[in-house]
């Protein structure tokens, strides 16, 4: 099933929560809607499902306009953040519910429920009630209820956000494997960039109702369309240094530091710019050296396999990624070298990447 959103908007009064959104989702594609709370991603999902009416624009499913179709006629299955299981029903009854609505025979319902339960490894849970299940088990049941319908598209609204970190990681892998097996078109909403980067064939980054960038995870990470995308995607976030190029030399001046590099083509020498560089491209050393800038440690965070080093650089702070063995007390003098071949430049006024 292909899904096409054409100039889709949704307003509540004068406030637009989705503003002129256009997306083309191919048959069998896993697309993630990524963005902060309130950016319009869940509202977009609900409009695709038919749970919200679009203010303007078109929703096409397999080239057919479905704006006026009720949810049950769109052949999509929605998985909610809250699982939305019926507490008085057993797991088997919860999974069977969509099939009973279709008036399938009891034998066929039992066969399909058992088959889906085996696939999601919840067969031993079929006689239990939702209150007797863990969060991960409830999520599997919610997925099973969606899958048993054999819909032509899955719509998932932050389905893993209620799980602990270990279960989220496990379920992420299982979701990706399952979608690969089924080949069902999936639209997945999350504010978690790790989920977006690992699950999506393509990611649509949204902010304040507007689409910021729609591309593969790797392209979004390496070639962010603007400062918002660069800052939102990546952990720790990209470092930003505001400044401008010297009139006559290839020197970027900002926040009390001077960096030797060539300006991007076609810009005015004194145009206000923002230089962006990711923490892994900031090398920290306890010894001075060529092209190294003196700075001091503000604080370090040991993450197990690596150390995040927060540094006072000029009149601002930046983050560097160092090895797990790196140790330094707050206030320790260190030297940093920026890999300026990996630098990005953003227009200070518009935020667009140059």
Residue ranges of the domains in the chain? 3-225, 239-347
Cα gap 51→224, rounded to integer Å: 32
CB atoms within 10 A of CB 354: 15
Q: Can you point out the beta strands (E) in 85-217?
A: 153-157, 185-190, 202-207, 210-215
pLDDT tens digit sequence for 121-132: 899 999 999 999
* Pairing status of strand 316-323 against strand 306-313: antiparallel
What's the pLDDT band for 133 if we cut at 50, 70, 90? very high
Give me the pLDDT at residue 82, please: 81
- Report the chain's C-alpha Rg in angstroms: 25
pLDDT tens digit sequence for 51-93: 999 999 999 999 999 999 999 899 999 988 888 899 999 999 9
Q: Can you point out the beta strands (E) in the chain?
A: 3-12, 15-25, 30-34, 56-61, 64-65, 76-79, 153-157, 185-190, 202-207, 210-215, 239-245, 251-254, 257-260, 273-277, 282-285, 293-302, 306-313, 316-323, 333-338, 344-347
Ramachandran angles phi, psi of 216, nearest 5°: -70, 155
Percentage of the chain modeled with pLDDT above 90: 75
Structure tokens at 275: 């230089």
Mean pLDDT to the nearest integer, 222-237: 96
Give me the pLDDT at residue 167, please: 79
Percentage of the chain modeled with pLDDT above 70: 100
Whether the per-residue pLDDT at 254 is higher than 90: the answer is no
Q: Which of 142-156, 209-223, 253-267, 299-313 has the lowest mean pLDDT?
A: 253-267
What's the pLDDT band for 201 if we cut at 50, 70, 90? very high
The conformational region for residue 25 under phi > 0 = left, psi -120 to 50 = alpha, else beta, is: beta
* Pairing status of strand 185-190 against strand 202-207: unpaired
What fold does the segment set 239-347 form as a domain? OB fold (Dihydrolipoamide Acetyltransferase, E2P) (2.40.50)
Cα gap 275→292, rounded to integer Å: 17
Cα gap 273→120, rounded to integer Å: 51
Whether the per-residue pLDDT at 248 is higher than 80: the answer is no
Q: What is the mean pLDDT of the chain?
A: 93
Cα gap 33→214, rounded to integer Å: 9
What fold does the segment set 3-225 form as a domain? Rossmann fold (3.40.50)
Give me the pLDDT at residue 149, please: 87
Give me the pLDDT at residue 269, please: 74
Give me the pLDDT at residue 18, please: 98
What's the pLDDT band for 334 if we cut at 50, 70, 90? very high
pLDDT tens digit sequence for 292-319: 999 999 999 999 999 999 999 888 899 9
Give me the pLDDT at residue 267, please: 80
Q: Are 195 and 32 in contact (CB under 8 A)?
A: yes
170 vs 234: which has the higher pLDDT: 234
Q: Are 48 and 40 in contact (CB under 8 A)?
A: no
* Pairing status of strand 202-207 against strand 30-34: parallel
Q: Which of 16-20, 45-49, 89-93, 241-245 has the lowest mean pLDDT?
A: 241-245
Task: Report CA-CA distances (Å) from 4 to 7, 21, 291.
Answer: 10, 10, 50
Give the residues across from 306 on adjacent strands.
323
What's the pLDDT band for 251 if we cut at 50, 70, 90? confident
């Amino acid at each position: 099933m292909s899904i096409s959103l054409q100039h889709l908007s949704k307003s509540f009064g004068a406030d637009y929560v989705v503003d002129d959104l256009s997306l083309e989702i191919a048959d069998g594609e896993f697309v993630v809607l990524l963005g902060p709370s309130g950016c319009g991603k869940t509202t977009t999902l609900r409009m695709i499902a038919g749970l919200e009416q679009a203010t303007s624009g078109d929703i096409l499913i397999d080239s057919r306009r479905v704006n006026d179709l009720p949810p049950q006629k769109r052949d999509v299955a929605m998985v909610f953040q809250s699982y939305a299981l019926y507490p008085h029903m057993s797991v088997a009854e919860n999974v069977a519910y969509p099939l009973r609505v279709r008036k399938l025979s009891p034998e066929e319902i039992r066969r399909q429920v058992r088959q889906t339960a085996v696939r999601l490894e919840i067969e031993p849970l079929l006689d239990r009630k939702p209150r007797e299940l863990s969060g991960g088990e409830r999520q599997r049941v919610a997925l099973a209820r969606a899958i048993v319908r054999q819909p032509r598209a899955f719509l998932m609204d932050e389905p893993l956000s209620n799980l602990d970190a270990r279960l989220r990681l496990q379920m992420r892998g299982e979701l990706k494997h399952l979608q690969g097996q089924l080949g069902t078109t999936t639209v997945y909403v999350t504010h978690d960039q790790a989920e977006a980067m690992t699950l999506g064939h393509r990611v649509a980054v949204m902010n304040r109702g507007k689409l910021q960038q729609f591309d593969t995870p790797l392209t979004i990470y390496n070639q962010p369309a603007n400062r918002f995308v660069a800052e939102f995607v990546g952990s720790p976030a990209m470092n930003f240094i505001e400044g401008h190029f010297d009139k006559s030399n290839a020197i970027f001046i900002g926040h009390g530091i001077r960096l030797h590099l060539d300006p991007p083509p076609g810009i005015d020498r004194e145009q206000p710019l923002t230089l962006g560089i990711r923490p892994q491209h900031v090398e920290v050393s306890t010894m001075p050296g060529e092209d190294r800038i003196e700075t001091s440690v503000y604080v370090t965070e040991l993450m197990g396999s690596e150390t995040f080093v927060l540094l006072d650089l000029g009149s601002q702070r930046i983050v560097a990624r160092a090895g797990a063995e790196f140790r330094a007390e707050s206030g320790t003098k260190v030297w940093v070298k920026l890999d300026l071949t990996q630098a990005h430049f953003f227009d200070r006024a518009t935020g667009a990447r140059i």
